[in-house]
């Protein structure tokens, strides 16, 4: 079978060159040419030119004489005589994909300062067997589309049915929204919107129950959300700007976007002290968001002293250790204190 790439040149060599490379001997035709070159240099250029030509010729013949035969293992793309495997060769096998394990973790979103349950965030973590699960921030920078699609399906197959099972109890407690921070690898999938729409329908969930945390990138005065996200928003899915303050987006971009919540980056929340510049960013963002009918989520609430301080600055929602840790579904009942127990499906 010809393994050459269409349009590429064949790497077949003349018989003399193949013989030289395989036997390690210098062909008589090449030696004769070298002698002729030295003689011509002596006639036209004198003794010095002849000596130089002789040195070059000897070096060239030495290189040809030391040529090693081609390795006899593996495929030789574009090799002579058809380019396929040789008689004593075996086809090169592609390594099998490594097995991975995917687990969905959940954490509560709470109101500030009351800490009432207002939603559940679901995050897919995956790992190789025996390793710690990696959140999306720890995924490889370049994820193959096939892998990204499989991870998306794993989240859809686990998080949506689980949330649908919890929904009656969550509604009674005021937390009837499911939040998802979108990994960049999923946003790049052409079928992302259709997969998500079909999964919502199959789970019997209204699209308004889902809140997508989307990164916002701005170029000058222009800020645009991905088309797939806008298509989902048109069907009722709620949008939130993720990690606001850490990127290029500014306050002036918010009023032009169909978002309902602004999620502040943890770097601002954790350092929003009484006299720090981060305090001004948190307060001004929360006030402007409120004036446009948006809520503000503070991510990184790790101390109880932050709860009241962030509420005073205008933050409506919070996530972090104080609000509740990331937990797998079977452990969520213990992590969400309240009058009603929420059991895993």
| DSSP secondary structure string for all residues of 20-56 | HHHH-PPPHHHHHHHHHHHHHHHHHHHHHHHHHHHHH
Residue 87 has a pLDDT of 53
What predicted TM-score, i.e. pTM, was given to this entire model? 0.69
pLDDT of residue 66: 42
For residue 238, the tally of other CB atoms under 10 A from its CB is: 19
Tens digits of per-residue pLDDT, 132-153? 888 887 777 677 889 889 999 9
The stretch 322-328 carries a mean pLDDT of 92
Which DSSP state fits 334? H
Q: How far is it between the farthest Cα atoms of the chain? A: 107
Non-local (6+) Cβ contacts of 171 within 8 A are none
The conformation of residue 108, written as its DSSP 8-state character, comes to E
Low-confidence winner among 114-118, 168-172, 176-180 (lowest mean pLDDT): 168-172
CB 178 within 8 A of CB 199: no
In this structure, of 2-16, 78-92, 266-280, the range with the lowest mean pLDDT score is 2-16
Confidence of residue 88 (pLDDT cuts 50, 70, 90): low
The secondary element (H helix, E strand) that includes residue 57 is helix 28-65
Does residue 68 surpass a pLDDT of 60?
A: no
pLDDT of residue 97: 52
Assign 89 a pLDDT band (cuts: 50, 70, 90). low
pLDDT score at 276: 83
Mean pLDDT of all residues in 163-172: 91
User: Between 81 and 124, where is the model more confident?
Assistant: 124
User: What are the pLDDT digits (tens) for 216-270?
Assistant: 776 656 677 888 999 999 999 999 999 886 655 566 677 778 899 999 989 889 8
Confirm if 241 and 211 have CB atoms less than 8 A apart: no
The DSSP annotation for 124-139 comes to EEEE-TTSPPBPGGGS
Q: What percent of the chain has pLDDT over 70?
A: 63
Bridge-based pairing of strands 117-127 and 101-111 is antiparallel
Going by pLDDT thresholds of 50, 70 and 90, the confidence category of residue 338 is very low
Q: DSSP letter string over 131-174?
A: SPPBPGGGS-SS--HHHHHHHHHHHHHHHHHHHHHHHHHHHHHT
**Interval 92-110: pLDDT, tens:** 565 555 566 889 999 999 9
């Amino acid at each position: 079978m010809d393994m050459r790439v269409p349009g590429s040149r064949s790497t077949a060599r003349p018989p003399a060159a193949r013989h030289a490379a395989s036997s390690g001997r210098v062909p008589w035709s090449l030696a004769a040419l070298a002698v002729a070159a030295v003689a011509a240099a002596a006639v036209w250029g004198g003794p010095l030119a002849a000596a130089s030509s002789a040195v070059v010729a000897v070096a060239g013949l030495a290189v040809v004489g030391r040529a090693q035969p081609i390795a006899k293992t593996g495929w030789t793309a574009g090799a002579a005589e058809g380019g396929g495997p040789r008689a004593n060769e075996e086809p090169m096998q592609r390594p099998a994909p490594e097995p991975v394990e995917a687990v969905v973790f959940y954490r509560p979103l709470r109101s500030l300062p009351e800490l009432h349950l207002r939603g559940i965030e679901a995050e897919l973590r995956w790992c190789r067997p025996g390793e710690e699960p990696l959140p999306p921030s720890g995924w490889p920078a370049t994820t193959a589309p096939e892998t990204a699609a499989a991870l998306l399906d794993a989240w859809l197959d686990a998080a949506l049915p689980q949330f649908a099972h919890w929904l009656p109890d969550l509604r009674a407690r005021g937390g009837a929204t499911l939040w998802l921070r979108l990994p960049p690898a999923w946003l790049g999938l052409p079928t992302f919107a259709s997969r998500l729409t079909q999964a919502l329908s199959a789970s019997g969930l209204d699209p308004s129950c889902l809140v997508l945390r989307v990164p916002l990138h701005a170029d000058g005065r222009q800020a645009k959300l991905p088309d797939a996200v806008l298509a989902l928003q048109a069907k009722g899915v709620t949008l939130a700007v993720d990690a606001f303050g850490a990127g290029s987006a500014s306050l002036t971009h918010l009023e032009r976007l169909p978002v309902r919540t602004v999620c502040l980056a943890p770097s601002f929340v954790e350092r929003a002290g009484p006299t720090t510049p981060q305090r001004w960013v948190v307060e001004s963002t929360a006030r402007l968001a409120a004036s446009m009918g948006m809520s503000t989520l503070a991510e990184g609430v790790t101390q109880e002293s932050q709860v009241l301080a962030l509420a005073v600055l205008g933050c409506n929602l919070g996530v972090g250790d104080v609000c509740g840790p990331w937990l797998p579904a079977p452990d969520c009942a213990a992590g969400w204190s309240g009058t009603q127990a929420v059991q895993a499906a």
